[in-house]
Amino acid sequence: MHPSLLSLTSPSALPNFFINPTKYPFPIQTEFPKTSSRPFPLSIQCPVLSVAIDASPATSKILSKPSAAEVCRTIMELSSTGTLSAISLQDGWPLGIGARFVVDAHGTPALCLNEPGKLFAPAGSSSFNVQLQQSRSRTRQCTLLGNLEKPEDGLLLKKLCTRWEKKFGEEVDEGLLYVIKVDRILQLEDFKEDTVWINSLDYVNAEPDPLRNCAEKIVYEMDTKHTEDVLRVCHVYLDTQFQVTEAKLIWLDRLGFDLYLYSLEGTFTARVPFPREVSDEKGVKSSLNSMFHLAWEVEKGYVVPDFERVKFVKKISRHG
């Protein structure tokens, strides 16, 4: 069965050089010369096989995943609530309260709080923990350490109010906004995973992932409509010592995507890099289509992959 490809455009707008939509479930643009009526070539010399070059995974010399600072910036952009913790004025115990927030252009969180001075020491040390659940499978989190302060810049305050109204659909009282002057950040990939410390400069200089607003939608489409293609990609792009019976995408970003692999030996996690960095939804779908097609050709024996397969997989506890 031919791989089911992700749609890049509306079928009604397709020019004549697109594949016939009645033959394939999703239209893609072809860049190859016409061949015989045979649906796919049996000879590896055929020009149509040039797609294998474009779909080769990134080499180890190329960054294959975002930095921890970039992950934190993405978490902060996509989340809307977190837990503020500081020492209580009443009895000296650590106290945590939930709060909604927005971030400015540098990732500084602005929280809406009702007289926090009644609970915490003014301008005292605090932490702000933010969690982001991805595909109901992994919960990434970051904890920002710093001091809770009132914003003094009037222009910044107005920008924060604008961001608040855009994110929550309501106005916010300027007098209730407090910012956290970030000193350092603790990042955690998932529960029971190792932690990574990030300094404030790396955090400020990092950029949130450009695919953050469409990643969840694409992952859902992959896991519901393209399960066979995802599993085929695992067989071709991953070099595992066990038989993968099921694969599920967790998340994707500009450099690749993370997977859960299920087998009789347990549950594993792995990462597959894109052939090249992508910057938008059209780019990521184009890369996935190329990878689907190459994996299908390899499975059928039309081509032999000439790239190094990903060998690193990590066993994890089974998720319920």
Domains and CATH numbers, the chain: 11-64+212-316 (3.20.180.10), 68-205 (2.30.110.10)
pLDDT value at position 181?
Answer: 94
Mean pLDDT confidence for 226-230: 95
DSSP annotation of 121 reads -
Provide the pLDDT for residue 1: 56
Which DSSP state fits 184?
A: E
Model confidence band, residue 53 (pLDDT cutoffs 50, 70, 90): very low
CB atoms within 10 A of CB 78: 17
pLDDT digits (tens, 9 = 90+) for 159-202: 999 999 999 999 999 999 999 999 999 999 988 888 999 999 99
Residues 254-271 have a mean pLDDT of: 93
DSSP 8-state code for residue 304: -
Amino acid symbol at 207? E
* 65 three-class SS: coil
**What tokens appear for 76 in the block?**
């902060």
On whether the CB atoms of residues 86 and 125 are closer than 8 A, the answer is: yes
Mean confidence (pLDDT) of the chain: 82
Percent of the chain whose pLDDT exceeds 90: 62
Of 182, 183, 178, the C-alpha closest to 122 is 178
For the ranges 3-17, 18-32, 189-203, 294-308, the maximum mean pLDDT occurs at 189-203
| Cα–Cα distance for residue pair 21/91, rounded to 1 Å | 69
